[in-house]
Chains A and B, each alone.
Chain A
Amino acid sequence: MKTQCRILWLGCLVLLLIITSCTQSKAEVTSPSPTLPASKLTTKVITPTPKLGPKVTVRPTFTATAVATLSLSDGRNRLLDLLSNNGGCQLPCLWGITPGKSTNQEAENLLIPLSSISELTDLKPSPGEIQPVYSEDDLFLSTKVTYLYANNGVVSSIAYRAREERKSTASNGEEIPLGVFDSLSFGKRLDYYSLSHVLSEQGIPTSVLIATSGPPAIYLGGGGFYIALLYPDKGIWVNYITQMYIVGDNVRGRPTNAHVEMELYPPGDSASFFALLDKTDWGVKKNGYKPLEEATQMTVEQFYQTFRNPTDKWIETPAKLWPTPEPSGP
């Protein structure tokens, strides 16, 4: 009903807009979005992101706690430390937070020190979220940790994302972040979460799925090649995003230095794993993926043997497998 009302309202709005909409073009959008100079970040727990700026009100979430926010340089060092050793624990634990065991207060104590370098820190109520950024020159190593917790305070799931971006200017003058998929420094800093390390630590995945955007090629900086690993019994879902290239009749991508995203759940309950995972974007996006065996000539075992050690090898898949999809309904 609400939707129908809005659509009806839109119909009325059309007439008004026909009169007014042509008075200002998109080309007049000239104000670039603010960037994120690390030097301007504050040490407040609620750090208004330059993107969020004063335009979005984030409800203050800070309650008295003995945990201190780190200085900017210490925060940067702490982030690099966490990225290098995952806080001394193994997935599905992330940075010392274990799904099914850790409490939201423990998670908060671990994450608040990073708020000085975070674009957004909003830990209460659930989901807790923090977005620590490590900037260097024009590159931004952007991370995001989101965790859900129940009434009893126990963390039930963790979503994690790490990517490298470079500010670029769009055709309309607006400053936009573009993905960087060939950053050696990113690959080195994210080694713990790399395909080779996850495979060597977690073993053969239950399933590997591939998706691509092509052909046609999408713009550089847009990714377009995806590799998903599923470990249902261990509560681990990992998705690697890297730049897609079209070579002859194939599309290909290389996992080296790929961006990574994860969904982490308590281990030992694969039914629950799939049910929870389906509530995330994966529940929709999985429709665009194909099993590794169908997308490539490899079995999961061969994939594991090939990529369990660091390598620059590509994953190739026939372009004909990825035709322009037919439009479909919602």
Chain B
Amino acid sequence: MTGQMYKDLDRMMKNVVHELGHAYDNALGIRSNDSDAFLDRDVMRPNLCDRCYNWQQHPPSMDANGNVSYEKFGDMFIAWTYNAWNLNPDVSKDVGRAQAWMNGLVHQP
């Protein structure tokens, strides 16, 4: 869990979703290995600053593990849940690929 100590409810909610992403990943058999494709892609909506966690709960700047695929997957799970991807037109293709990948991975009702 990367978000202890924070009182903010919104942050907590997103952190829970991030952790849920890990759990879902585990249940699927660590599909986050496949998310290497998005490891260095800016597909998530950016945080307001390096240590703000508005969207990304475990960004690369947090620690070396911020660069590993299962943490990226956790944050992509947030992006998928809230439909809150990066709006930067420069990365629109990356976002499209990430959305398609997540939609294929997470079965919807």
Interface residues, chain A, CB within 8 Å of chain B? Answer: 2-3, 5-7, 9-10, 12-14, 16-17, 20-26, 28-29, 31, 33-34, 49, 51-53, 55-56, 58, 122, 127, 129, 146, 148, 157, 159, 168, 170-172, 174, 176-178, 211-213, 218-219, 221-224, 263, 279-281, 284-285, 287-288, 324-330
Contact = CB atoms under 8 A, between A and B. Distances in A.
A224 B36 contact: no
19 contacts: A9-B109, A17-B24, A20-B26, A20-B27, A24-B30, A33-B33, A49-B37, A55-B37, A146-B91, A157-B90, A170-B67, A172-B65, A177-B67, A284-B47, A285-B46, A288-B48, A325-B48, A326-B8, A327-B10
Contact of B83 (A3, A31, A170): A3
A211 B50 contact: yes
A211 to B, nearest CB: 7
A13 B20 contact: yes
Contact of A14 (B20, B39, B62, B109): B20
A5 B106 CA distance: 13
A164 to B, nearest CB: 13
A23 B26 contact: yes
Contact of B20 (A10, A55, A219): A10
Nearest to A323: B51
Contact of B81 (A10, A157, A218): A10
Nearest to B81: A6
A213 B61 contact: yes
A281 B46 contact: yes
A279 B88 contact: yes
Interface in B45-61: 45-55, 60-61
Contact of A288 (B49, B81, B86): B49
A17 B49 contact: no
B60 A222 contact: yes
Contacts of A328: 8, 48, 52, 54
Contacts, number: 181
A92 B40 CA distance: 25
B64 A170 contact: yes
A5 B8 CA distance: 23
B48 A29 contact: no
Contact of B48 (A21, A26, A170, A284): A284
Interface residues of B, number: 61
Nearest to B31: A55
Contact of B67 (A176, A263, A280, A288): A176
Contacts of B36: 33-34, 51, 53, 55
Contacts of B66: 222
Contacts of B84: 3, 330
Contacts of B39: 33, 51, 176-177
A116 B96 CA distance: 24
Contacts of B45: 284, 330
A313 B12 CA distance: 41
B63 A219 contact: yes
Contacts of B34: 55
Nearest to A24: B26
A29 B90 CA distance: 31
B49 A21 contact: no
A12 B66 CA distance: 28
A307 B39 CA distance: 34
A3 B45 CA distance: 15
A14 B7 CA distance: 22
Contacts of B68: 29, 170, 172, 174, 176
A29 B88 CA distance: 31
Given A122-B93, A148-B90, A279-B89, A170 B65 contact: yes
